Amino acid sequence: MAPQVFAILRVVFFFIATPMVFNALQAIDVGKFFRPHSTNQIRLLVMVGAIILGYFFADVIVSLFEHVIGLF
């Protein structure tokens, strides 16, 4: 397959994975690690974490596709 296909898949999977990771991160209670009334910092942490983990998740999935297709 062309490398452009994998690049497009990475972007598509990133936009699919990021909201899923964001919802999963909201289930974690990180409020006990922050000062009271610091909701903006918690939101920022969850949003940045979701973007980073969404990228890693998408990269892992597409890399697996690349390796599996490379075997054949």
Q: Which of 65, 70, 63, 57 is nearest to 19 (CA)?
A: 57
Q: For the whole model, what pTM was predicted?
A: 0.85
Go through 30-66 and write b for each residue having 16 or more CB atoms within 10 A of its CB, e for each that does not: eeeeeeeeeeeeeeeebeebbeebbbebbeebbeebe
Cβ–Cβ < 8 Å for 58, 10: yes
Mean pLDDT for 58-63 is 96
Q: Hunting for tokens 């054949």 — which residue is that?
A: 72
Provide the pLDDT confidence category of residue 31 given band limits of 50, 70 and 90: confident
Provide the pLDDT confidence category of residue 3 given band limits of 50, 70 and 90: confident
